[in-house]
Amino acid sequence: MSHATVETAKVVERRKRSALGREQTRTAWLLLLPTLAVVAVVALIPLAQTIYLSFTNDRLASAQPTEWIGLKNYRFLLEDTVFRNSIVTTVKFAVITLVFELLLGLIIALVVNSSFKGRGFTRAAMLIPWAIPTVVSARMWAWMYNDIYGVFNDLLQRLHIIDRNIAWIAEPRYSLAAICAVDIWKTTPFVALLLLAGLQVIPSDVYEAATVDGANRIQQFFRITLPLLRPAILVTLIFRTLDALRVFDVFYVMFGARRDTQTMAIYAQNNIVAFSDTGYGSAIAVAIFLIIGIFVVAYVTTLNVEAS
């Protein structure tokens, strides 16, 4: 009797659980619905439409009907030297800023990882360049770069590094380096903080053991710190690559849509908004999306590898 009751109770319990499971699944999708709806409206449907538009001659606010023109936009894109230059500019920018940001970021991370008075304040202060808008930092630097009244020319002349005022932004020889310096200033502290997070999970007894074994600081850095920091460096690298490849603000504020120094994103924006050429602009956008998509796939799979 009592045995049967236990059995029945178990069955009831199991039924209750599977009912709960079904209800959970239903509740889960219900909870996800608003997010999925928003994502569909602002991202997935627009993405599908962008791909469609890239095969048309669509123009915004044009009387002429939109026609399917197949791969014409893409064929034009392959021969478009302005777009090709924009890729070169963007990639140069990405490589230069990444190298400096990782190198300087690592140095800063190592410095703020050791203990000293005011460490907390230093770490907080490091976030400030990251927190302010890129447009603001671009403006601040543009003023420092000013060819007549700028502090850079004054400082460098006082230090006898240059003997005349240089138009840092206007002269093609210097403009890319000048803009990279702005991004490096703004982003290096952020990179440093990401790397710092990686440094902090390295257990200190590893270093203690190495010291007992007679390894000096430099050996410890290359044999312990760097290998254990690899995941953090990798993620930072890919994360920053994505940002660098879609760079828009800093170039637009400092250079406008100047033809010789435009990034991929500026070229696309200019075609879409200034020229109302949504068809061709969409083809550029798809190309950018594919280039960045390759990195996203790398990112996601890397993370997956790390997790398993």
Segment 228-287, which members bind another protein (CB under 8 A)?
Answer: 232, 235-236, 239, 242, 245-246, 248-249, 252-253, 264-265, 268-269, 272-273, 278, 281-282, 285-286
Please give the span between the terminal C-alpha atoms of the chain, in angstroms, as a whole number: 49
Asked if residue 209 binds another protein (CB under 8 A), the reply is no
- Window 106-125: residues binding another protein (CB under 8 A): 107-108, 111, 114, 116, 120, 122-125
Nearer to another protein, 8 or 25 (CB): 25
Asked if residue 62 binds another protein (CB under 8 A), the reply is no
d(CA 146, CA 168): 7
H or E stretch at 272: none
Shortest Cβ 39–another protein spacing (Å): 6
How many other C-beta atoms are found inside a 10 Å radius of the C-beta of residue 262? 24
Tokens 């000048």: give the residue. 178
Of 1, 4, 6, 61, which one interacts with another protein (CB under 8 A)? Answer: 61
- The structure tokens listed for 170 are 């206007």
Within its chain, how far is the Cα of 4 from the centroid?
Answer: 63
Residue span 162-191 as binding mask against another protein, x where in contact by CB under 8 A, dash where not: -----------------------x---xx-
d(CA 69, CA 91): 30
Of 11, 19, 128, 209, which one interacts with another protein (CB under 8 A)? Answer: 128
E strands, the chain, are none
Q: What phi and psi, each to the nearest 5 degrees, are found at residue 277?
A: -90, 75
8 A C-beta contact, residue 137 and residue 186: yes
Asked if residue 8 binds another protein (CB under 8 A), the reply is no
Shortest Cβ 225–another protein spacing (Å): 17
Nearer to another protein, 261 or 281 (CB): 281
d(CA 255, CA 244): 16
How many other C-beta atoms are found inside a 10 Å radius of the C-beta of residue 142? 19
Residue span 20-59 as binding mask against another protein, x where in contact by CB under 8 A, dash where not: x--xxx-xxx-xx-xxx-xx-xxx-xxx-xx--x------
Asked if residue 73 binds another protein (CB under 8 A), the reply is no
Shortest Cβ 119–another protein spacing (Å): 10
Supply the DSSP symbol for 259: G
